[in-house]
Amino acid sequence: MSPDTTFDVAAPAASADAALASAAVKALHDELSAYPKPGLVSPVDSGAHADMDFALMCRSAASLAEPFEAMAIAGRAAKPFDTVLKPLGIMAERRMLAATGGVNTHRGAIFSMGLMVAAIARTATPHADISADAVRRTLKREWGAALEAHAAEGHAGDSHGAVVRRATGQDGARREAALAFPNVFEVALPAYRKALWAGLDTNAAAIQTLFTLMEAVEDTTVLYRGGVQAGEFVRKAARAFLSRGGCHDTGWQATAKGLHRDFIARNLSAGGCADLLAVTILLASRCGR
């Protein structure tokens, strides 16, 4: 199927699904705009990504609005993962690659964000707030078994996650999804909400949450670039940053910028954590509790 494939979004409930898709794209943009993020692309620089910049990433995110809307429609109807959601994800990847000239900017985000969009759409009710716990229960109930099978196949292929799993035995995004995103629901979302409640602005809250994820997650992007030693370096750096107060410390920006330079020198980027941060931002925007 060509990158110009028209997604079926002409459904009666399309307005709600379009709004959810727009929120997903905004969450990607909010993650992208946060600074300083060690090794990651931002409006300031490209981090450790020589083949990407902020404008390219923005084009990539914008290209996913229609695919996310299609995933919302499919999710609302509890369509199967293997025959509907997964093919929609592949079509979204093609749309992304067409927008970026072949650069893989958001493959991991398409998988994680697409699943979360589907789960939120399935959980949503017309006149009541939904909870993050309800979204997670929906994800487990509707697609848990299929995602577990998908994770079991994760050693095959040429994705960064598959390469890392064969080399180190560490699981990546597929296992995170099969477990219904524990690092989002149990780690990142509480950290993000706590940061906002404590008075941090959205940029600082995003950075605080990113470092919280970096301490907790075996990031396959990090492992792919630098191996197990790089993974340990990232966890220790995040732990040290948080132990000094993280973004609540008055000098946090200078510390984070120093780490950013260090990550660039080491060619490291916590891209998997960035994907989970974007998913967290979406959840926080759509779930009242």
> Is position 1 within any domain?
no
| Residue 6 resides in a domain | no
For residues 258-264, average pLDDT = 98
- The pair of structure tokens assigned to 148 is 């577990």
Q: Residue range 56-74: average pLDDT?
A: 98
pLDDT of residue 112: 98
Q: Please, which residues have CB within 8 angstroms of residue 254's CB and are 6 or more apart in sequence? A: none
Residue 3 lies in a domain: no
Helix (H, G, I), strand (E, B) or coil at 201: coil
User: Which regions of 50-200 does DSSP assign to beta strands (E)?
Assistant: none
Residue 260 lies in a domain: yes
Rounded Cα–Cα distance for residues 255 and 242 (Å):
11
Q: Is there a domain that residue 275 lies in?
A: yes
| Residue 16 to residue 171: CA distance in whole angstroms | 34
Residue 2, pLDDT above cutoff 50: no
* Residue, of 234 and 154, whose pLDDT is higher: 234
- Residue 4 in any domain: the answer is no
Number of domain units in the chain: 1
Residue 192 has pLDDT above 90, yes or no: yes
Whether 282 maps to a domain, the answer reads yes
Q: DSSP for 97-110?
A: HHHHTS--SSHHHH
Q: Is residue 93 part of a domain?
A: yes
The helix (H) or strand (E) run that includes residue 175 is helix 173-178
d(CA 55, CA 261): 21
Examine the pLDDT at 277 and tell me if it is beyond 50.
Answer: yes
**Mean pLDDT computed over every residue of the chain:** 92
Asked if residues 192 and 132 have their Cβ atoms less than 8 Å apart, the reply is no
Q: Could you tell me the residue range of the domain that residue 39 belongs to?
A: 14-286
Tell me what pLDDT residue 1 has: 39
Query: Could you read off the pLDDT of 11-60 as tens digits, one per residue?
Result: 446 689 999 999 999 999 999 999 999 999 999 999 999 999 999 999 99
pLDDT at 172 over 90: no
Tell me the C-alpha distance between 258 and 262, whole Å: 6
